[in-house]
């Protein structure tokens, strides 16, 4: 039976206002012409709302809604509590790290401090050519012809041998004394030797001749080849010439730095960016550090987190923030061995003038390599690139040779040719890896020696 919706008419809509019941009847004409009457049953809303089934359904919906709401609130609270816990734990861990690092630095200062001395010098400035009227501020005082100055030194033997910078005890030094970490001053100190002013290694050795019953603690020498950029370091020294064993900390900011530094005699500091009158030094293969190195710190130790000396504080940038330079300790180990064994030293001598290769140098000379030591043609007849009669000349080194390695250790920004040679002693035979005309050959050289100056 089909109904035509167009024919469906609402006939009656009766409302029982008391019981809220509705009755609907509809009449529709069938296709046959007959009319079908449909009567809708009465519906009571009040009865439905009061029915047991509706109450059960209402309670079930209410329980579900409350459960969902409580779950959401609980999850929100728990999530926020977890975040608070993570933040609290993070801050706690950071505090532990900071506390641990400060305790480590404190322990390093206690361990290394007894191996550090203040070096006090009197200088005849008339013999050094420096300005006799230049003052040293907190370093002490000056008068025409005489200056008092101070630097730092490192004890390397229990019998009183001390390592420092050459510019701390320059030519013209008339007297030297050292002050130990316990405040005791020892005045009978002599200069065993120092490198020449033209040498890129700014090193001198002292000897305490009378210990006066004092027991000395030698510093522990480390390995500067293991140092990497970003490594934490501690610098210890006689800051400003009067604050003994001042401790600062920082990191290694760079290595293989080459600078030209100048200083007044005995200032205990070199400034790579100074134009002041005084001595001028060309320094190579230096560490750069942001550990504060102040005037008077020259000659003091730069140590790693194991309390080992990996550098010798040498120069500062006076017009910059925390830019200091230190000599890698490996550049000095050969000299230390000589001094400890014989009480004097002689620098190993090769007899070449070279240019450390960088990317710019490689491009300028069209070298094809970015590391090594290049022996260029000399532009000055009085300064040949290979000194006649030198160990280099005897071994057959040639112009345009590139020295790539010394005894298998690569020459690069971390290891200069001079630094690698200074790890040896005069008379020793070293094997040089040399790049010549695109081929690598091995050249054996017997190193000569240059005596130190007193």
Residues involved in catalysis: 167, 202, 298
CB neighbour burial string for 278-315, b if at least 16 within 10 angstroms, e if fewer: bbebebbbbbbbbbbbbbbbbbbbbbbeebbbbbbbbb
CB neighbour burial string for 398-429, b if at least 16 within 10 angstroms, e if fewer: eeebbbbbbeeeebbbbbbbbbbbbbbbbeee
Interatomic CA distance for residues 310 and 252, integer angstroms: 11
Interatomic CA distance for residues 159 and 163, integer angstroms: 13
Interatomic CA distance for residues 37 and 11, integer angstroms: 9
Interatomic CA distance for residues 248 and 233, integer angstroms: 9
114 with 175: CB under 8 angstroms?
A: no
Interatomic CA distance for residues 25 and 71, integer angstroms: 49
Interatomic CA distance for residues 121 and 136, integer angstroms: 12
Which tokens go with 174? 């008339």
Residue in this structure with the two tokens 């910059």, named with its chain if needed: 320
Which tokens go with 58? 């209402």
CB neighbour burial string for 239-262, b if at least 16 within 10 angstroms, e if fewer: bbbeebbbbbbbebbebbbbbebb
Secondary structure class of 146 (helix, strand, coil): strand
Residue in this structure with the two tokens 């130990």, named with its chain if needed: 180
Count of Cβ atoms closer than 10 Å to residue 63 Cβ = 10
Count of Cβ atoms closer than 10 Å to residue 60 Cβ = 10
**373, β-bridge pairs:** 356, 403
Which tokens go with 70? 């409580």
365 with 374: CB under 8 angstroms?
A: yes
Closest CA to 41 of 24, 62, 57: 24
Region of residue 296 (left: phi > 0; alpha: psi -120 to 50; beta: else): left
């Amino acid at each position: 039976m089909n109904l035509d919706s167009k024919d469906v008419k609402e006939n009656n809509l009766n409302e029982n206002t008391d019981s809220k019941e509705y009755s609907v009847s509809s009449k529709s004409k069938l296709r046959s012409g007959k009319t079908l009457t449909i009567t809708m049953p009465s519906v009571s809303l009040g009865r439905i709302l009061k029915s047991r089934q509706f109450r059960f359904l209402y309670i079930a919906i209410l329980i579900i809604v409350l459960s969902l709401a409580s779950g959401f609130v609980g999850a929100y609270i728990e999530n926020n509590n977890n975040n608070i816990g993570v933040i609290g734990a993070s801050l706690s861990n950071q505090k532990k790290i900071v506390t641990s690092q400060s305790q480590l630095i404190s322990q390093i200062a206690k361990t290394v401090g007894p191996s550090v001395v203040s070096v006090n010098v009197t200088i005849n400035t008339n013999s050094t050519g420096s300005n006799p009227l230049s003052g040293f501020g907190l370093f002490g005082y000056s008068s025409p012809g005489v200056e008092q100055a101070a630097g730092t030194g490192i004890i390397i033997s229990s019998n009183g041998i001390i390592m420092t910078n050459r510019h701390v005890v320059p030519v013209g030094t008339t007297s030297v004394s050292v002050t130990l970490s316990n405040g005791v001053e020892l005045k009978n100190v002599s200069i065993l030797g120092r490198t020449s002013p033209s040498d890129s290694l700014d090193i001198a050795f002292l000897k305490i001749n009378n210990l006066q019953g004092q027991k000395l603690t030698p510093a522990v020498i480390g390995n500067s080849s293991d140092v990497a950029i970003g490594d934490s370091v501690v610098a210890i020294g006689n800051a400003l010439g009067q604050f003994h064993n001042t401790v600062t900390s920082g990191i290694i900011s760079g290595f293989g730095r080459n600078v030209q530094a100048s200083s007044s005699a005995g200032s205990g500091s070199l400034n790579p960016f100074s134009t002041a009158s005084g001595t001028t030094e060309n320094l190579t293969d230096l560490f750069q550090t942001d550990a504060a190195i102040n005037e008077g710190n020259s000659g003091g130790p730069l140590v790693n987190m194991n309390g080992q000396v990996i550098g010798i504080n040498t120069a500062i940038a006076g017009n910059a923030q925390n830019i200091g330079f230190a000599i890698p300790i490996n550049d000095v180990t050969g000299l230390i061995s000589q001094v400890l064994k014989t009480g004097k030293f002689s620098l190993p001598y090769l007899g070449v003038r070279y240019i450390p290769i960088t990317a710019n140098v490689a491009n300028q000379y069209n070298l094809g390599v970015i590391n090594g030591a290049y022996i260029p043609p000399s532009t000055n007849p009085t300064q040949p690139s290979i000194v006649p009669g030198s160990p280099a000349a005897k071994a057959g080194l040639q112009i345009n040779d590139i020295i790539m390695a010394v005894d298998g250790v690569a020459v690069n920004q971390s290891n200069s040719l001079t630094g690698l040679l200074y790890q040896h002693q005069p008379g020793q035979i070293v094997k040089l890896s040399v790049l010549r005309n695109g081929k690598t050959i091995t050249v054996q050289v017997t190193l000569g020696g240059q005596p130190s100056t007193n």
